[in-house]
Amino acid sequence: MQDNMSENDTDEAERHRAKMAKRKAVQDAEVASKTIAKGLLMINTGPGKGKSTAAFGLALRSLGHGWRVGVVQFIKGRATGEQAALESFGDRVVWHTAGEGFTWETQDKARDIAACQRAWGIALGLMDDPTIGLVVLDELNIALRYDYLPLDEVVAKLTSRRNDLHVIVTGRNAKPALIEAADLVTEMGAVKHHFSAGVKTQAGIEF
């Protein structure tokens, strides 16, 4: 009985090894077929939580490879844990919180538009800096949703950026023209959120 079990285990292990070897060959061929190197325009959008969080995780990954990272926060004016953590990298992170709060907080459309225009000017400067490898444009989608910035100009500048620069844009309701121009689009789904159950926002989780 023990010998049969051992033989069965050996056969199963061999089948598994053969299956994984075949799968690895397919995966290796797929990876080898991709030969283009370029800066990416990435978008995190959708109703779910985690769009900015994922972008800042990408920033951390970039820093791990020795890059410099630029961050511009549109709309948001609140200090966050990500800012405190990433600024500990010193001059390798250039961070600008250029917003003054969401539109329902400021209740002043002209002020919101002016803040977004200032933030976009800062973003253009970071995109022109050859020492920066990744630019995070946090909540730019919100500024575009409310028409605080000219969509055509923003898309044109993003698509004409230097070839080696990676840019990630966050925020709900990404405009179709921006989605069309992007290389990578991720939509965060809203399956369940503790806020709906009466749980308040908490430092370290929401900001």
What's the whole-model pTM score?
Answer: 0.84
Q: What are the sequence ranges of the domains in the chain?
A: 1-35, 38-190
pLDDT tens for residues 166-177?
Answer: 999 999 999 999
Mean pLDDT of 33-54: 92
CA-to-CA distance for 166 and 101, rounded, in angstroms? 26
Q: Locate all alpha helices (DSSP H) within the chain, ordered by sequence.
A: 2-32, 51-64, 81-86, 103-106, 109-127, 140-145, 151-159, 176-181
pLDDT value of position 50: 95
pLDDT value of position 36: 78
Candidate CATH numbers 3.40.50.300, 2.40.128.260, 3.40.640.10, 3.30.450.20; the one for domain 38-190 = 3.40.50.300
Instruction: Reply yes or no on whether the pLDDT at 181 is more than 90.
Output: yes
